[in-house]
């Protein structure tokens, strides 16, 4: 979090709130109580472990407790900040003042929280209204795109220096240690998720956790990683061969995945159905007899969260629009032998797309000497 938001950030914060307030009027809601951490950050720029943002068509108040009041008053500029001690009392007072009849809540908050809000707001109809925020978050503003692009560039840099550290005798955990040290050395805010480092047969498990597994010459090494800039995520997966060519079957898998990835990527643009992109990648893999080895969706949206809307898989009803940031990440997994996934971070533009990931994705044998 930055100490003090600049005027551009404040203007953007106000725009986001205004858009939400227009949505409230459209849905005939008297207010929405925003509880989800990420949604609060999106609307106020303020990070905390607990806060309640109450937005009506005319006002927005961020309620924080004693731990956060000083920081919130110093940084939040485009909505009111108030201290709460017991949220029940605060909500009861607010209800007497505003007299709301319909209040929107997020579908993502725990049921226990819904029930608690209900008990403090007797006679108020509570409805699910998170789409008002999620729909706005789908389309990134130019400042959000700048943060995601910066995150992707740092990710490229950390990835390249991690490759340079690879030596025989290292384990996956050693690689992760190098990667984390590089994150600190470059002064990066953090990783958008804990990196996946999978070598040899381990790469057949898409969400593998690095282990004491030793890197060996001729193995494929899969690295799936992302950074954070201004709270915005990047996400990229690359696969390299360590020191010498891999077994022919894995090389064929690599070529098939790259072909599928590039074919899907070429089609990315506004108006394209996410499900069609997924099917296109599956079709490319089918021609190589590998469609059954692709066991997850083609990609996902990326923003303040590493996985957010839209969804790119066979069942998705999402249609791409300019300003979305998505991943394209087909994979082929061969149990007991290894796996390949190639993932690019992509911005959908009004005329097509722009790839934000910069690291080489064509087949690459990296130096692997003692």
DSSP state of 152: H
CA dihedral (196, 200, 204, 207) in degrees, to 10, reads -10
Stretch that binds Zn ion, among 106-114, 123-131, 220-228, 332-340 (CB under 5 A): 220-228
Binding to Zn ion (CB under 5 A) within 339-358 occurs at 343
Interface residue with Zn ion among 12, 106, 156, 224 (CB under 5 A) is: 224
Q: Which residues touch 208 (CB under 8 Å, ≥6 apart)? A: 196, 198, 202
SS3 state of residue 40: helix
CA end-to-end distance (rounded Å), the chain: 41
Of 23 and 231, CB closest to Zn ion: 231
Q: 261 phi and psi, to 5 degrees?
A: -65, -45
Q: How far is CA 5 from the centre of its chain?
A: 23
Q: Which residues touch 161 (CB under 8 Å, ≥6 apart)? A: 178, 182
Stretch that binds Zn ion, among 38-46, 68-76, 158-166, 228-236 (CB under 5 A): 228-236
Of 224 and 318, CB closest to Zn ion: 224
Task: For residue 81, list its beta bridge partners.
Answer: 62
Stretch that binds Zn ion, among 30-38, 116-124, 162-170, 336-344 (CB under 5 A): 336-344
* Residue 295 C-beta: closest distance to Zn ion, Å: 14
Size of the site for Zn ion (CB under 5 A): 5
Give the integer Cα–Cα distance in Å for 286 and 241: 24
Of 40 and 158, CB closest to Zn ion: 158
Binding to Zn ion (CB under 5 A) within 240-269 occurs at none
Of 194 and 259, CB closest to Zn ion: 194
Q: Which two tokens stand for residue 208?
A: 């593998």
Stretch that binds Zn ion, among 85-93, 204-212, 221-229, 345-353 (CB under 5 A): 221-229
**235 lies in the site for Zn ion, by CB under 5 A:** yes
DSSP state of 268: -
Q: How far is CA 155 from the centre of its chain?
A: 14
Stretch that binds Zn ion, among 18-26, 95-103, 111-119, 216-224 (CB under 5 A): 216-224
Of 31 and 324, CB closest to Zn ion: 324
Interface residue with Zn ion among 32, 90, 327, 357 (CB under 5 A) is: 327
* Residue 345 C-beta: closest distance to Zn ion, Å: 8
Give the integer Cα–Cα distance in Å for 26 and 33: 16
Of 96 and 207, CB closest to Zn ion: 207
* Residue 207 C-beta: closest distance to Zn ion, Å: 10
Of 253 and 346, CB closest to Zn ion: 346
Spatial contact of 334 and 249, defined as CB atoms under 8 Å apart: yes
Give the integer Cα–Cα distance in Å for 354 and 43: 27
Of 56 and 313, CB closest to Zn ion: 313
Task: For residue 341, list its beta bridge partners.
Answer: 331
Stretch that binds Zn ion, among 35-43, 105-113, 235-243, 280-288 (CB under 5 A): 235-243
Q: Contact residues for Zn ion (CB under 5 A)?
A: 224, 235, 237, 327, 343
């Amino acid at each position: 979090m930055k100490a003090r938001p600049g005027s551009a950030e404040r203007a953007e914060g106000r725009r986001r709130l205004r858009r939400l307030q227009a949505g409230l009027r459209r849905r005939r809601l008297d207010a929405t109580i925003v509880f989800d951490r990420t949604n609060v950050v999106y609307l106020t720029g303020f990070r905390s472990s607990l806060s309640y943002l109450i937005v009506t068509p005319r006002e927005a108040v961020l309620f924080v407790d004693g731990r956060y009041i000083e920081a919130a008053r110093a940084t939040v500029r485009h909505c009111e900040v108030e201290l709460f001690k017991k949220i029940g009392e605060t909500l009861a007072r607010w209800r007497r003042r505003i007299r709301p009849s319909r209040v929107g809540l997020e579908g993502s908050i725990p049921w226990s929280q819904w029930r608690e809000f209900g008990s403090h707001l007797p006679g108020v109809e509570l409805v699910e209204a998170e789409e008002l925020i999620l729909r706005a978050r789908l389309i990134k503003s130019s400042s959000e795109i700048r943060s995601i692009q910066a995150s992707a560039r740092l990710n490229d840099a950390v990835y390249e220096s991690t490759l340079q550290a690879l030596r025989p005798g290292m384990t996956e955990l050693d690689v992760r240690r190098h990667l984390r040290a590089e994150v600190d050395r470059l002064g990066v805010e953090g990783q958008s998720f804990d990196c996946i480092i999978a070598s040899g047969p381990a790469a057949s498990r898409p969400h593998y956790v690095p282990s004491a597994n030793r890197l060996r010459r001729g193995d494929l090494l899969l690295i799936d990683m992302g950074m954070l800039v201004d709270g915005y995520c990047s996400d990229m997966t690359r696969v390299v061969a360590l020191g010498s060519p891999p077994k022919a079957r894995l090389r064929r898998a690599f070529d098939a995945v790259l072909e599928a990835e590039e074919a899907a990527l070429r089609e990315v643009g506004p108006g394209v159905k996410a499900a069609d992109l997924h099917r296109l990648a599956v079709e490319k893999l089918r021609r190589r007899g590998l469609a059954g080895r692709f066991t997850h969706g083609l990609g996902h949206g990326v923003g303040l969260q590493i996985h957010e809307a839209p969804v790119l898989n066979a069942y998705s009803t999402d249609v791409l629009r300019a300003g979305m940031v998505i991943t394209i990440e087909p994979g082929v997994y061969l149990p007991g032998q290894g796996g390949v996934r190639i993932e690019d971070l992509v911005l959908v533009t009004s005329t097509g797309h722009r790839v934000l990931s910069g690291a080489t994705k064509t087949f690459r044998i990296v130096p692997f000497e003692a």
